[in-house]
A and B are shown apart, each in its own frame.
Chain A
Amino acid sequence: MTAAAMSIGEFRGYLAGQIGRAPESIPLDAALRTDADLDSIEMFLLVIAVEDLGVQFPEELLAHVVTLEDAYHHYVTQLGHR
């Protein structure tokens, strides 16, 4: 890994801040759309916020990102491939 990755807690705190939510309202293993009840605007802002970390989110991959844990795994994996 060539860049220091956030911890999963930092990652959740960062994303929650970007979409204007309390971190506790987005459990790590909750489905973002259904369990955490993120609406279209929040999903859009969340993806933009992850991409702002230098992570690419191609559409075919986005479909597999269901939880915050999934997003974090993708983030860490991409950092490792830089």
Chain B
Amino acid sequence: MEGPPLLGRRVRLRPVMPTDHDYLYQLATHPDITWRWRYRGQSIGYDTFLQQLWGGTLVHFVVERRDGGQRVGYVQAFDASERHGWCHFAVMLDPMLERSGWAIECLALFFNYVFTAWNFRKLYAVVLENNYEELHSGAGTWFITEGRLAEHEWFAGRYWDLVFLTVRREDWEPSGPALVAKLTERPAGPVRETA
């Protein structure tokens, strides 16, 4: 039996290697990313970064271009509760590609991988209100909004809401594996026995 596909039309997900550490540190501290990533603009030491890169991580991948293999991002599942059936996820992509939709392709592969490998009910992402606008069309199909902390974080002269997005297995399975199969040109997703 093959594992879940990790090669899409434009991107490939591959395991994080020690040789990726410098790249990932540079990405997480990039001026266009750091204020959105978990550090919210704060300087973080390299050793602390590495501890947090691996600590609490369930699974993570470097995102590469399919053509050429250049590293373009990172996707992570973390703080998992297998008992309760959920985990958190996060993605960061090279700023040059942020508005291209590539993040969505890598997330589709990633959701498929996580829902196939673990029996999670929910995958959570916590995003600032201004990031949410980049994804708002997916509300009700790709994800639901389960919570919102009003005016929770200060940035650039005002307070922003913090939005809790949930990708539910029950919403993913009707269309997600078919999308991944289209991206990868082979069957994807959990194999379910039919009655």
A-contact bits for B154-185, CB 8 A (1 contact / 0 none): 00000000000000000000000001001100
B9 interfacial contact with A, CB 8 Å: yes
B29-37, B38-46, B118-126, B130-138 - the one binding chain A: B130-138
A59 with B10: CB separation less than 8 A = yes
Secondary structure of the A side of the interface? Answer: helix
Q: Sort chain B's interface into a size bin.
A: 20 to 34
CA gap between A45 and B183 in the complex, in Å: 11
A20 with B9: CB separation less than 8 A = no
A39 with B134: CB separation less than 8 A = yes
Q: How far is the CB of A43 from chain B (nearest CB, A)?
A: 4
B10 with A40: CB separation less than 8 A = no
Residues of chain B contacted by A39 (CB below 8 angstroms):
133-138
Using CB atoms and an 8 Å cutoff, list the residues of chain A in contact with chain B. 19-20, 33, 38-48, 51-52, 59, 62
Return the 10 tightest CB-CB contacts between A and B, nearest first: A44-B101, A44-B104, A43-B101, A41-B138, A42-B137, A41-B137, A39-B137, A40-B134, A40-B101, A39-B134
